[in-house]
Structure 1
Amino acid sequence: MTLPVPALDPAFDVVVDLAPLEDHGATSAGHRRVVPILGGQVTGGVEAEILPGGADWQLVRHDGTIEIDGRYSARTASGALLLLHARGLRTGAPEVLARLGRGDDVDPADYCFRTTVSIETAAPELAHLQRSLFLAAAERRASSVRYRAYRVG
């Protein structure tokens, strides 16, 4: 029996506006950083405004790879609320990661920034989002993150 090869279908785009990084240093879990979320937009298959108050709770590995754990809410024009949870990795060559750490603009082809995205909502018209797995390719800018999410089919 042959297993199906998953397909990736463009689903939506996200731009998340970020506050300055909070470096918590070496905690019991590892080198912890928190990046507060100020707002942003979800566009494409879903249209919503990202609400302030979420954050990306990061762990920095010894090799510079960052474990991403972002959680934030968004509201559609009709008032429906979405909870987005992005988990993944940002990694690359040490010199590229250093440039990103300084806030330099770096071509996203020069590093790997990938997340899975899950969505939770009580809105019946958006319930289909909860039955999908999304894989995203992301870009880190000085004060924002941009990603395109693909529905895994």
Structure 2
Amino acid sequence: MSAPAVPGLEPAFDVEALLGPLEDHGVTRAGHRRVVPIIGGRVTGLFDAHVLPGGADWQVVRPDGAIEIDTRYSARTDDGAYIYLRTFGVRSGSPEVLAALLRGDPVDPSEYYFRLGVQLETSDPRLAGLEHSIYVASAIRDADRVRYTAYRVT
């Protein structure tokens, strides 16, 4: 009996998502809810596209300070194809590092953990193959943007 293949990672695409001001909704029944608007950006790699304004990251800050990430946003290629992107993940670190990130201070990415699962959806037949893979990403939070490299799980 053969064993399943050990997954590998291959670089797939880079995302730079520009962010609007954080909206702190306070403590709701789901937890401490924050919403961060996505106002633009760029995707490069397996496909090139502009991130469209109108998406957001619907965060929940857990009691331990870690932040559950839940983004949904759209991108459009220069020739008009739409790609819907959804990420889910976690950003965690020491209270001091998380407070610095919240203030917009520069923080070395090695000081915190920020990982994502990425799902893609499109109706464009030329890009449909993107939907047949699983992607994971390592992300960086800057004062006014999030940057990540997504890897296709082989």
TM over 0.5: yes
Aligned-residue identity in percent: 61
State how far apart, in whole Å, the 1-side matches of 2:136 and 2:89 are. Answer: 9
TM-score (norm 2): 0.97
Unaligned 5+ runs, structure 1: none
Unaligned 5+ runs, structure 2: none
Deviating 4+ runs (over 6 angstroms): none
Matched residue, 1:107: 108
- The question of 1:15 aligning with 2:16 is answered yes
Matched residue, 1:29: 30
Q: 1:1-150, aligned counterparts within 5 Å?
A: 1-150=2-151
State how far apart, in whole Å, the 2-side matches of 1:109 and 1:4 are. Answer: 30
Matched residues, number:
153
TM-score (norm 1): 0.98
State how far apart, in whole Å, the 2-side matches of 1:93 and 1:4 are. Answer: 36
Letter in 2 for 1:119: L
State how far apart, in whole Å, the 2-side matches of 1:3 and 1:130 are. Answer: 22
State how far apart, in whole Å, the 2-side matches of 1:144 and 1:95 are. Answer: 20
RMSD: 0.7
Deviation at 1:2, TM superposition (A): 2.4
Letter in 2 for 1:118: Q
State how far apart, in whole Å, the 2-side matches of 1:101 and 1:80 are. Answer: 34
State how far apart, in whole Å, the 1-side matches of 2:138 and 2:47 are. Answer: 17
**Bigger shift: residues 89-98 or 18-27:** 89-98
Q: Deviations over 1:9-43 (max 9, x none)?
A: 00000000000100000001100000001000001
State how far apart, in whole Å, the 1-side matches of 2:50 and 2:123 are. Answer: 17
State how far apart, in whole Å, the 2-side matches of 1:6 and 1:107 are. Answer: 28
Letter in 2 for 1:21: L
Q: Deviations over 1:39-66 (max 9, x none)?
A: 0000112100000000000000011100
